[in-house]
Amino acid sequence: MTPAPETRDAYDQALFARFVDGEQDAFKELYDFYERPLMLYCRHMLTTPQETQDVFQETWLRVIRIRTRKETVERFRAMLFTIARNVAINHLRDRQSNRPISLTAIDVENNRALSTGGGFDEMEDLINRAMKRLPETQREAFIMHSMLGYTFQEIAEMQGITMTGAKTRAFRARCYLRTLLSNWLGLAEEEADEHIATRSMKQQSRSYKSEGE
Amino acid sequence: MKTGDLITSYLDNEMSPEQEREFLLSVAASDSLRLALKSHVMLDRIVTRQAQQVQVPGAIRDNIFAQMSASVAATPHAGPAGRAASHFDAGTIAAKSAGSIGQSILKMGRGAIVMAMTACGFATGYYVHSQLPEMQRDGVVAPTVQQTAPAVTTPSAEDIVPGVLPAPSSATHQQQSAPSRSGRSIGTISAASVRTARSAGSTVPTTSGNRTGSIADEPSSKPSGGTDTPMQSQKLHPSATPSSVEPNPLDPPASSHAPTVTSGAPSSSESQPASVSATGTIRNSNGSDQHMAPKEDPK
């Protein structure tokens, strides 16, 4: 039985307490519930699938290690994503030390050229690529708010900032992505308009020809 | 208010009816705002789709659960609930394997067999230990006391060839029961002592204490001479006191033996080492007696 969202924290706390006592079914229930959100978070926070899987697995292994310390966890969800965040940041640091990447570079033209004339799948690919170029803090706030459904208060607690700061980060990320998408959609609209205009001109010319004949 | 805020407020139903009407009018009038609203909706749709499409490889899941099982197995009894869970698991496993009642009976039967065998061992040992003096008196088993005083004569350094065990000469019934042990013991010590003494020049090996102990503890054969025949007759009677001793010439002087023998030996003559006579006389290998000054003269 899945608990209501407002009672989810208390339910998770009870599940983790049972897991600390040695119940494997409690861990299985926690894992099944948070498996996909955590994988989604890791996938957007990191670049390669290998990094994503490494961070995902390391996060759960750290949760298992916490059990041996017999610690009481009040908010399992916040703890889980805080661990994932720390592990992901460590991976990003290692990667940046080896292969620096400009996270703030906005290559709208490249993305536009890439995705011109595509459908929904290409639009999704465009968003994925654009999200990798977002600053980590903005990307994380956007993922947690838009994809995982966290409130800004919870994001602020996890990132150690104010609620306004969390809101600003998520908003900036969304603005960037929306602008990118708007440009793509605008380009598509322009192309559509051009296509319609061309088509109408052809039709007009045909009508003129038919009238002349 | 910015465009993004307007769209978010509209989608989150945070606008009043008047604000919403104005927003929709502006969307209809402005291409950019319409495009922004469309992109916002598309972005939400993409995000929702990605959240539904995410998959976790089964290998990672298996690895995580294996680690979790190992962790739980390492510390299964973390709390009361853990104890209850572990008991439940044990019962389930027993029921699945062969039935919990049958398992319990089988375990109890094994435990009873082990306990019975242990009790039988203790009883046998106690019976043998209690019957040992009578058996020794009947001559069935060599008495322990006799084994403590066989080394009346030990071969001299000249008689011992390194590596060759001295042959027993006149073996009694008790000595024939364990000739190899006695020969090995004396031969080994003597040969080693000779080797040590010859290699070290004039240094006498300080094995007096050990040799005295080994001679007193183990029955030894009589490598030479008939001088030990009287001793054999005395050894058959525990009440008799050994009269003569032929010490090994490689032993330290008798004066150095005296403290060891007198201090280590019990006061009774029955358990007194055979190397010392009651009068404190030690018989050397050449037959001459060496008188030791006894600490206490019984007369």
Rounded to two decimals, the ipTM of the complex is 0.71
Look at residue A164 in the predicted model and tell me its pLDDT.
92
Look at residue A114 in the predicted model and tell me its pLDDT.
44
Strand partners, B289: B283
Checking if the pLDDT of B61 tops 60, the result is: yes
Residue B36, CA distances (Å) to A122, A186, B186 in order: 18, 9, 109
Identify all chain B residues contacting A22, using CB atoms and an 8 Å cutoff: 72, 75-79, 81-83, 85-86
- State pLDDT tens for residues B117-170: 888 888 888 887 787 777 677 766 665 554 444 444 444 544 555 544 444 444
**Of A187-201, B6-20, B213-227, the least confident:** B213-227
Look at residue B5 in the predicted model and tell me its pLDDT.
79
Test B64 with A61 for CB contact under 8 angstroms.
Answer: yes
Look at residue B142 in the predicted model and tell me its pLDDT.
62
Residue A97, CA distances (Å) to A6, A100, B114 in order: 41, 6, 66
In the block, tokens 């062969």 appear at: B98
φ, ψ at B281 (rounded to 5°): -100, 135
Angle in degrees, CA B267, B273, B278, rounded to 5 = 65
Test A43 with B39 for CB contact under 8 angstroms.
Answer: no
Q: What domains appear along chain A, each with residue ranges and CATH number?
A: 8-95 (1.10.1740.10), 108-207 (1.10.10.10)
**Cβ atoms within 10 Å of A211's Cβ, excluding its own:** 7
- Nearest-CB residue to B77 (from A22, A57, A120): A22
Look at residue A137 in the predicted model and tell me its pLDDT.
86
- Mean pLDDT, range A16-33, rounded to an integer: 88
Say what percent of chain A tops pLDDT 70: 74
Q: How many residues does chain B have?
A: 299
- In Å, how far is A46's CA from the nearest CA of chain B? 14
Say what percent of chain B tops pLDDT 90: 1
- In Å, how far is B6's CA from the nearest CA of chain A? 12
- State pLDDT tens for residues A165-184: 999 999 889 888 888 888 87
- The pTM is what? 0.48
DSSP B271: S
What tokens were used for A57? Answer: 């697995």
b/e per residue, A155-164, with b = 16+ CB within 10 A? bbbbbebeee
- Mean pLDDT, range B79-96, rounded to an integer: 45
φ, ψ at B70 (rounded to 5°): -65, -40
Checking if the pLDDT of B261 tops 50, the result is: no
CB of A185 within 8 Å of any CB in chain B?
yes
Q: Which of B1, B14, B31, B39 to mutate to test the interface with A (most CBs of A within 10 A)?
A: B39
Q: For residues B122 and B117, what is the distance between their CA atoms, to the nearest angstrom?
A: 9
- State pLDDT tens for residues A123-148: 888 888 888 888 888 888 988 888 88
Rg of chain A over Cα atoms, rounded to whole angstroms, equals 24
CB of B79 within 8 Å of any CB in chain A?
yes
3-state secondary structure of B295: coil
**Of A96-100, A201-205, B12-16, B65-69, the least confident:** A96-100
Residue among A27, A59, A61 nearest A40 (CA): A59
Identify all chain A residues contacting B43, using CB atoms and an 8 Å cutoff: 127, 146, 174, 177-178, 181
- State pLDDT tens for residues B36-54: 888 888 888 888 888 888 8
- In Å, how far is B32's CA from the nearest CA of chain A? 8
Residue among B156, B154, B176 nearest B273 (CA): B154
Q: For residues B206 and B214, what is the distance between their CA atoms, to the nearest angstrom?
A: 14
Test A36 with B57 for CB contact under 8 angstroms.
Answer: no
Checking if the pLDDT of A10 tops 60, the result is: yes
- State pLDDT tens for residues A62-110: 988 888 776 677 788 888 988 998 898 888 887 765 544 443 334 444 4
Checking if the pLDDT of B171 tops 80, the result is: no
Look at residue A59 in the predicted model and tell me its pLDDT.
92
The residues, any chain, with a CB within 8 Å of residue B51's CB and separated by 6 or more, are A36, A37, A40, A147, A148
CB of A192 within 8 Å of any CB in chain B?
no
- Bridging pattern class, strands B289-291 and B281-283: antiparallel
Test B43 with A171 for CB contact under 8 angstroms.
Answer: no
Q: Decide if B69 contacts A10 (C-beta within 8 A).
A: no
Q: Decide if A22 contacts B74 (C-beta within 8 A).
A: no
Test B68 with A64 for CB contact under 8 angstroms.
Answer: yes
Identify all chain A residues contacting B36, using CB atoms and an 8 Å cutoff: 178, 182
Checking if the pLDDT of A56 tops 90, the result is: yes
Residues B226, B227, B233, B237, CA torsion sign: negative
Mean pLDDT of chain B, nearest integer = 58
